[in-house]
């Protein structure tokens, strides 16, 4: 609970934080000094997305960072398995009680691997509570507030990973995105984050490391950063922001 020695530092207002967290595994990773990088993306990624995610997660884990992810299959599962390959711990944030499978057909072996590899499962839901839309939204906010940086390797506009990245921007948590082919629907969200200049381009694991070490951007309170955002795009009447002035 808040105030306990094991309670993690969370970005954002305490009024938006959970009142209690349930964990399974080594909960010390929630208060460890090791940076936590959320590696997120599409539920049904392309081979490109899987390869990029695996390479990035393995390299970051090798460098001593903790991989943070959701329970979604696809990119998120690939990132968690990449951390396991590197022998590094991972933190998985669930939208249901720790005794429930978050989604039908999920492979519980992934969660066992996270715990057996020294990582931890985290949920703001008590045991027995199933997944719901509200719980998934709370999971997204918790994941963003736990992260020292968020990297989306591949994702469409409506991908949950893009929503988590939007939460991170509002909290002032650095966001990175891997560019993808303009012909790929699963890269529309990541490319849009880059076009809107709310994410730094990630083409190498060092770029993700730089997200953690760079000064945090100011929280983007009051802005909607989704596909139907009111954030101005550079255009005829609004000159582009010079790169040196982009608050990233």
- Write the CATH number for 174: 3.40.50.450
pLDDT of residue 99: 87
Task: Give me the domain span that covers residue 200.
Answer: 19-245
Asked, for residue 6, whether it belongs to a domain, the answer is no
Indicate whether 112 pLDDT > 60.
yes
Q: What is the mean pLDDT of residues 72-92?
A: 92
Asked, for residue 8, whether it belongs to a domain, the answer is no
Describe the chain by its helix, strand, coil percentages, rounded to 5: 35, 15, 50
Indicate whether 101 pLDDT > 80.
no
Distances (CA, A) of 206 to 25, 60, 74, 75, 146: 29, 9, 23, 19, 21
pLDDT of residue 214: 72
**Cβ-based neighbour number of residue 103 at 10 Å:** 14
Indicate whether 128 pLDDT > 60.
yes
Asked, for residue 63, whether it belongs to a domain, the answer is yes
Q: pLDDT band at 177, cuts 50/70/90?
A: very high
Percentage, residues of the chain above pLDDT 90: 69
Per-residue pLDDT tens for 181-214?
A: 999 999 999 999 999 999 999 999 999 999 988 7
């Amino acid at each position: 609970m808040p105030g306990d020695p094991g309670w993690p530092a969370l970005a954002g207002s305490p009024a938006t934080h959970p009142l209690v967290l349930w964990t399974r595994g080594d909960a010390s990773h929630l208060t460890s000094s090791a940076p936590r990088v959320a590696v997120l993306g599409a539920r049904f990624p392309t081979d490109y997305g899987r390869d990029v995610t695996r390479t990035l997660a393995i390299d970051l884990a090798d460098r001593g960072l903790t991989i943070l992810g959701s329970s979604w299959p696809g990119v998120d599962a690939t990132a968690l398995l990449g951390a396991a390959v590197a022998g590094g711990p991972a933190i998985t944030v669930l939208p249901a009680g720790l005794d429930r499978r978050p989604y039908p057909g999920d492979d519980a072996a992934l969660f066992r691997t996270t715990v057996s590899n020294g990582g931890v499962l985290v949920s703001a839901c008590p045991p027995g509570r199933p997944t719901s839309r509200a719980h998934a939204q709370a999971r997204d906010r918790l994941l963003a507030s736990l992260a020292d940086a968020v990297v989306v390797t591949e994702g469409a506009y409506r991908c949950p990973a893009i929503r988590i990245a939007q939460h991170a921007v509002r909290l002032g948590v650095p966001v990175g995105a891997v560019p993808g082919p303009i012909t790929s629907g699963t890269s529309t969200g990541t490319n849009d984050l880059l076009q809107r200049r709310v994410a730094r381009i990630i083409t190498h694991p060092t770029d993700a490391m730089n997200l953690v070490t760079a000064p945090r951007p100011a929280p983007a309170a009051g802005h909607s950063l989704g596909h139907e955002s009111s954030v101005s795009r550079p255009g005829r009447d609004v000159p582009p922001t010079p790169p040196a002035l982009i608050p990233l």
